[in-house]
Structure 1
Amino acid sequence: MNEQISTLPLVARQFCVPLSATRRGARLGRLLATEQLRSWGLPLDPARLIVAELTANAALHGRVPGRSFRLALTMTAEGVVRIEVTDTRGDVLPDRQTSAAAPAESGYGLLLVEELADRWGVRLGPVPCKTVWAELDPATGAGKGVPRSQAGRGVGR
């Protein structure tokens, strides 16, 4: 019998909630995430800043009338916090080049995510959805509110 060893991290804690794709839903997501992180005994920043940006983007750019978005938080046994926001606009993807180059007046949010998170990205599916995710890894100094550029971490991903 062949046994496969899982390379997925062991999830210690999990939280998931559907939210209305409105400004009020984004605010509620930020408040619920803050309380969840507090109950897990984790530092609130920079996670709540990332949650605020990703939920606001879901309400603004990922909005489909009559459909909600989902906020999920997980913490692995090693203390890595993963923030995921899933919306129903898989056809509208965040653009790393645009956000990193010269953002428009409202395009600074993903720069914030880029600076505060250890890793972030986008996963497509299931159709018509996309998930924008960010991870904070205590082994690299995340969760202290110190931007990567000031924490001695490299810019490469």
Structure 2
Amino acid sequence: MLPTGPTCRSGSGRRTRTSSNASRGPSDLRNDDVPVRADPGGGRLVAGQRLSSTPRGARLARRLAVAQLDAWGYAHDSETTEAVALVVAELAANAVTHGRVPGRDFELRLARDADGIRIEVSDTRSECQPPGPGNVTPPSRLAESGRGLLLVDAVARCWEVVDREPPPGKTVRALVAVPASFENVFDPAPNIHSRA
């Protein structure tokens, strides 16, 4: 779980690696419900989906994230949507490329609150851990892969790798900041038929 704090550290005692690109970190993204719903106590909206650990599943994760942000009122061409789409695409691609276990799915979870958009991608492979924030090394200039987590590190306010709950596996979590004009908007579907 990601408590609030400047370094996004986990207070649960589990192995965790974090990176912070701002003074505030994400709070708890975990939620036991998969469908989109409002969090009754925190004014948070949460969405989640299990997807097949295939390239098609990774593409679908990105498309679902963009559709969810649209439902939350973010334009398809907004900086927030583009940043979330990039982070989801990279984390989902890593989950199906490096975290794939035959017959097991990966999970995408999104949450929206005043801090921004929280992204969580979980897979069931424990032995293949990505380097944590601050430990990602750039690939050689001619390498065809190896830039995904560098992009996540550049776009996300902070991110971390933690053990998946319940085991086995791992979860990569990231927080994408939202521009000030969207910080306190919590209406999931504004009424387009209302008159001023």
Alignment TM-score > 0.5, same fold: yes
Q: Find the counterpart in structure 2 of residue 58 from structure 1.
A: 95
Tell me the distance in 2 between the aligned counterparts of 1:122 and 1:11.
26
Q: Which residue of 2 aligns with 1:40?
A: 72
Which runs of 5 or more residues in structure 1 are unaligned?
1-5, 141-157
The alignment covers a number of residue pairs equal to 134
Q: In the alignment, what sits opposite 1:109?
A: 148
Amino acid paired to 2:108: L
Q: What is the CA-CA distance between 1:131 and the residue it aligns to?
A: 0.4
TM-score, structure 2 as length reference: 0.62
AA aligned opposite 2:120: E
Q: Cα offset for 1:86?
A: 0.4
How much does 1:11 deviate? 4.9
Q: Is the 8 A contact 1:122 1:130 kept in 2?
A: yes
Deviating above 3 A after TM superposition, structure 1's stretches of 4 or more consecutive aligned residues are 6-9
> Is 54-63 or 131-140 further displaced after alignment?
131-140
Relative to its length, the structure with more helix (as a share) is: 1
Q: Alpha carbon RMSD of aligned pairs, Å?
A: 2.3
Does the CA contact (< 8 Å) of 2:138 and 2:150 recur in 1?
no
Identity %: 44
User: Which residues of structure 2 form unaligned runs of 5+?
Assistant: 5-26, 29-41, 75-79, 181-196
Q: Which whole-Å deviations, capped at 9, do the CAs of 1:77-123 have from their partners, x for residues lacking one?
A: x1521000000012211113552x33252110000000000000111
Structure 1 counterpart of 2:157, one-letter code: D
In structure 1, how many angstroms separate the alpha carbons of the residues matched to 2:56 and 2:179?
Answer: 34
Return the TM-score normalized by structure 1.
0.77
Asked if the contact 1:11–1:74 (Cα under 8 Å) also holds between the matched residues in 2, the reply is: no
CA distance in 2, matches of 1:65, 1:139: 40
Q: Which amino acid aligns with 1:138?
A: V
Q: Which amino acid aligns with 2:82?
A: D
